[in-house]
Amino acid sequence: MSKNKIKFLAYYLPQYHQIPENDEWWGKGFTEWTNVKKAKPLFKGHQQPIEPGELGYYDLLHTPNIQKDQAKLAKEYGLDGFIYYQYWFGNGKMLLEKPAENMLKDRSIDMPFCFCWANETWKGIWHGLDNPDTLIEQTYPGEEDYINYFNYLLPFFKDERYIRVDDKPLFVIYDSLELPAEFIKLFRHLAIQNNLKGIYFMASNRGSNTIDYRTKGFDAKISGDYNVLLDTEINKARKVNLLDKLLRKVYLKKRNPIKLFYGKFFRKLQYSTANVDTFPMVLPNWDNTPRSKLKGFLFANSSPEFFKLEIDKATQFLTKHEYTDKFIIIKSWNEWAEGNYIEPDQFNANKWLEALK
């Protein structure tokens, strides 16, 4: 990747294949498509269920050439890389690791990539359960486990497709505040020992930009402005919903998920900087009611045209800053059960991708 060019990276969800744990928790054969397929419209005009376009209801382990086809499509429309979610829960326990492992082995999947360590406990609330039990806990067992994790990641870090900044592998941390202080120091030490220039640590969009990321050892931050504004707007919407319940009994018969308006919301969104290099994050849409039903929230009136305006805003923000490398983060390539994807669908065809291009 050439320096100074703005690069577009998209989060990539690998939960499109069967694993024993999901079979146990949600029923045999569960994948991300399970909730997508059974979604229903919850109010007049609610566009559900959504259906994939040319790539279909793929299985990342069994649909022939699917990762190759995704990479080709992404590059055709100007995407510069995937950020694979990576799940290491401690003591060597991983989930959903096979798509990335298969990609590493297959040189014909011609797409730059990096990892986001999704260091978070999985709970049932993720799929809208009333009693959110812990499904699998994120743990931090200490130095031996961190060394084992590094050694697992090393072949990926050394792959020529792996995205680098200042010749250092880019590694995104989902929950930067939970990360033990010794983790970053140890990973950087291990990188030097293994003939790498170091590790370029980026905090995810989770967490506000006001935190001291530099002291924590981070080199960069995906802007948290969206998350901060979202918390504010959802809290406002919940208060209105509560008032409706108190004042209008009829509301109880018409209960809807929380609805925010994409255009109005994103006009309020302005990017700020953390005390490290800060990169904007842009969403095409959001509707997690396939997972969370009435407990979810969604953006109304989202469109590829609005999405393009937000890409332009993010681009303008980056032109004001002299960073070594410049990234715009797209959330996401394929989080279909959150209505949060730019892959082709039946309604918009390739328009999300055209907006990016």
d(Cα 353, Cα 344) in Å, to the nearest integer? 8
Which among 311, 343, 351 is positioned nearest to 82, based on CA atoms?
343
Which among 151, 60, 75 is positioned nearest to 106, based on CA atoms?
60
d(Cα 238, Cα 354) in Å, to the nearest integer? 35
d(Cα 19, Cα 203) in Å, to the nearest integer? 28
Residue 239 belongs to some domain of the structure: no
In 3-state terms, what secondary structure has residue 312? helix
Identify the CATH number of the domain in which residue 322 sits. 3.20.20.80
H-type helices in 168-261, by residue range?
181-193, 225-247
In 3-state terms, what secondary structure has residue 24? helix
Can you give the pLDDT at residue 251? 46
Report the domain count for the chain: 1
Residue 53 belongs to some domain of the structure: yes
Residues 82, 327 contacting (CB under 8 angstroms): no
Residue 250 belongs to some domain of the structure: no
d(Cα 98, Cα 91) in Å, to the nearest integer? 18
**Which pLDDT tens digits describe the chain residue by residue (357 residues)?**
445 689 999 999 999 999 999 999 999 999 999 999 999 999 889 999 999 999 999 999 999 999 999 999 999 999 999 999 999 999 999 999 999 999 999 999 999 999 999 999 998 755 555 556 889 999 999 999 999 999 999 999 999 999 999 999 999 999 999 999 899 999 999 999 999 999 999 999 999 999 999 999 999 999 999 999 999 999 888 876 655 555 554 444 456 789 999 999 999 999 999 999 999 999 999 999 999 988 899 999 999 999 999 999 999 999 999 998 999 999 999 999 999 999 999 999 999 999 999
Residue 149 belongs to some domain of the structure: yes
Residue 242 belongs to some domain of the structure: no
Residue 180 carries which side chain, given as an amino acid letter?
P
Residues 314, 307 contacting (CB under 8 angstroms): no
Can you give the pLDDT at residue 239? 76
Residue 109 belongs to some domain of the structure: yes
Residue 121 belongs to some domain of the structure: yes
Can you give the pLDDT at residue 124? 73
* Residue range of the domain that includes 268: 6-233+261-356
Q: Which residues fall within 8 angstroms of residue 145, CB to CB, at 6 or more apart?
A: 90, 91, 92
H-type helices in 39-87, by residue range?
66-76
Length of the chain: 357
Residue 256 belongs to some domain of the structure: no
